[in-house]
Amino acid sequence: MTLAALAGALADGSVRVVDLTHTLDPDFPVIILPPEFGQCARFRMEEVSAYDHRGPAWKWHNISMSEHTGTHFDAPCHWISGRDVPFGAVDEIPPERFVGPVCVIDCSEATARDPDFLMTRDHIAVWENTHGPIPRGSWVLMRTDWSKRKGAAYLNMAEDGPHSPGPSPEAIRFLVEERDVIGFGTETVGTDAGQGMHLSPPYPAHFILHGAGRYGLQCLSNLDLLPPTGAMLLAAPLKIKNGTGSPLRVLALVEEA
């Protein structure tokens, strides 16, 4: 019954599908780690044939990239804190975890002023005063409008590393322990702030989310098209054996007001 109603709402446009995904493109930036570490590969595409002597009636490409390139999903086994979490790889995660309600916390005004902005527990409390408690089993997305940045402004690298916003350790701990979220997503290249290595624990979103068997989404876009509450998120990573993450198409179902 519910699905029939949904089909009707999709057909008459009272429920819209919003694409939260960047296009996979060799020029889209990937995270850059200090040079002593292994590096994440950009998206690459090579032509196999294009209706020519290599295949007269068809066109196709071979593609390659990191599991963590473009709009992508982070699984628990991505981080050392989640290495022994049950069902911690993308191929093992129960599929019902890929669908859930979504809350969007708008931090775009603050991040326009301060690229190192940290979303704290107080920011979440202010949001909840208006919109009510974050429901159990929700995705929480941090809107920063970072997805509108172009070129070097996206990673925003300086001598001391990248400068981009993220959550504070206390905020992530609150979302996991007090609100039992499925996961946390951002518009930046990681779920953590660019300077997240200096927090305690370092990279708290990765450490706390994945240690608790929760998921991350990053390089999201179009968060400004979502309501603060009431949308439904669809985020199913590729079924890579023992995969630590995956590029994916992230969609939101949004009910017209």
Q: Contact positions toward Mn ion, by CB under 5 A? A: 68, 74, 245
| Beta carbon nearer to Mn ion, 90 or 119 | 90
Residue 218 CB, nearest approach to Mn ion (Å):
6
| Beta carbon nearer to Mn ion, 82 or 245 | 245
Catalytic center residues? 78
Q: Which residue is nearest to Mn ion (CB)?
A: 68
Residue 35 CB, nearest approach to Mn ion (Å):
19
> Which residue do the tokens 């493109």 mark?
25
Residue 210 CB, nearest approach to Mn ion (Å):
10
| Beta carbon nearer to Mn ion, 237 or 245 | 245
Residue 57 CB, nearest approach to Mn ion (Å):
38
| Beta carbon nearer to Mn ion, 127 or 146 | 146
